[in-house]
Amino acid sequence: MLEILFILVGMMSVYCFVIETYSVFLSIFGYKKLEKYYTESSPEAKFLILVAAHNEEDVIESTLENLEKIDYPKELFDLYVVNDNSTDRTGELCDKRGAMHIDTIEKKFQREGVGKSAGLQYALRALGFEKLKEKYDMLLILDADNHVDSNILREINSQWLYEGKPEAIQTYLDSKNAQSIISVGYAISYNIMNRFFQLSKKRLGLNNAIGGTGFAVRMDWLINTGGFCYKSLVEDLEMSIEIFKSGGRVSWNHFTRIYDEKPDTLKVSIKQRIRWCQGHWYVAFNNFGSLLKGFVKSKFNFRYIDQLIYLFGMGKAVQIGILLIAIVLSLVLNIGIVLGYPWATLSGLGMFILKWIMPTNILRFILSFYSYIGLPIYANYIDGSIKINPIKMICGVFVVGITYIYTQIVGLMKWRNQSTWVKTPHKHKDKNLA
C-alpha cells in the first residue's frame, strides 16, 4: 500500500517538475527590457464598454468618474453599466453621473449563461446583439470597481490595428489596493503573472490568457460564437480556450493598465478563489479531449501543450505540497530500507522512482525559492505601481499561495457545480492604497 502511494506521489512529483521547469523557462523571457513594438495609430476602432455591476453603490461613482477621463474620441465609444439584479442604489448613482445603464432586473430577455457572463449576455441582447457587429469593432469588459489608464482605448486601438486585428487583447492587470497581507499577496501574484507569464508568452508568440476584466474582444467573433453563453464560473478562461480552438489569437498589452480591487480578508479571498478553481477545473476537464485531439491533428503543435499545461498546472502551493509529501515518503522508505523493514520493500519501478525523486525534488525546492522570492521582488520592482516592502511581499505571496492548496482541493471536489456565483464585495474607491 505504501509503495502504491509512493509511486503515485512520485509520478505527480515528476509531473509537477515538468510544470515548474516550464514555468521557469517562460520566466526567462520576462526579463528583457520592455520596448513598445507597435506604432501609435489614429483612433479608428469603435468600442463598446460594458461595466459589470451587482450592488456596487460603494464604488460605481468613483469608477464612472475615472472612466470619464478616457482619452479617446467620444463618437468612437459608448459606455453602459450592466446593472445586474442590483437591489441597492447602483442604478440611481449611474443616473446621477449621467451614465447609461442596462437593468437586468427588468427581465426583458431570458437569462443565458452563469453569473457575470449572464448579465453581459443580457446587455448584448438589449443592445441589439447581431446589430452590434455593424456598430462596434471591439467590446471592452470592465468590473464596477475598476479604474483604468486614460490611454487604454488608444493603446488597444493601436495594437489591434498593428497586429492585424486579433480576436482579443488583455491589458495589464494591476491592483487598486495593497493594505492587508492578503491584498499584498494578490498584488504581487498579478505582478508576477503579468511579466513572467503573460509578457513572456507574448514574446514567444503563444496565446495569452484573458483575465476576467480589462480585456477587449472583437465584436464580430463574440457575436458569431453566441456571445457570453458560457457554462462555467470562469468565462474568461472559457473564452480564452474557445478563441484558441477556433484558431484565433489572444494578445497582451503591457503598456496600459486596469486597476482591480483585491480582497482584503482571507475569508473573502477563499470564497473568490474557490469559485476560480471550481470553474478552472470544469474548463480543464471539458477541454482536455478536444485539445489533445487538436495536438495530434496539428502534427504535435506545441501551442496545444501550452494550453494543457495552463489548464492542468495547479497552483505553485499545490506543487510544493506534493513536493513535501514526496520528500517525506522518500525519507521514510530510505530509512526503512536501511533498517531492513519488510514494509519498505520496493519493486523495480518503486526503486527507480526512489533513486531519482530526491535529486529531482531538491532541484524543485531550489526553483520554488526562485518563484516565491526572486520573481516577486523583481516583478514588483520593475512593474509594481504599488511598491511593497520585500518582507511583507514574500509573506503575502506565501499566505495566498499556501491557501491555494485548500481552494484547489475544494474547487476540484465541486467542479461539476457551475451554477453558484459568489460575488466579491468592493469598497475601495481610490487606487494605489498601500
Global pTM? 0.93
Residue pair 207/249 in contact (Cβ under 8 Å)? The answer is: yes
> Residue 1: its pLDDT value, please?
63
CB atoms within 10 A of CB 285: 14
> Residue 13: its pLDDT value, please?
79
> Residue 331: its pLDDT value, please?
77
Running along the chain, 434 residues long, what does each successive block of 10 average in pLDDT? 72 82 95 94 98 96 97 98 96 97 96 93 97 98 98 99 98 94 95 97 98 97 97 96 98 98 95 94 96 96 96 74 75 76 71 74 83 93 92 92 90 90 81 58
The rounded distance, in Å, linking the Cα atoms of 46 and 48 is 7
The rounded distance, in Å, linking the Cα atoms of 228 and 109 is 14
Q: Residue 65: which residues within 8 A CB-CB, separation 6 or more?
A: 97
- What letter represents residue 13's amino acid? S
Q: Residue 412: which residues within 8 A CB-CB, separation 6 or more?
A: 277, 281
> Residue 315: its pLDDT value, please?
62
Exposed, middle or buried: residue 15 (CB in 10 Å: 0-12, 13-18, 19+)? middle
> Residue 242: its pLDDT value, please?
98
Domains of the chain: 2-30+287-413 (no CATH), 47-264 (3.90.550.10)
Cell of 61: 461613482
| Cα 287 to chain centroid, rounded | 17
Q: Residue 185: which residues within 8 A CB-CB, separation 6 or more?
A: 395, 396, 397, 398, 399, 400, 401
Helix (H, G, I), strand (E, B) or coil at 141: strand
Residue pair 237/283 in contact (Cβ under 8 Å)? The answer is: yes
> Residue 357: its pLDDT value, please?
74
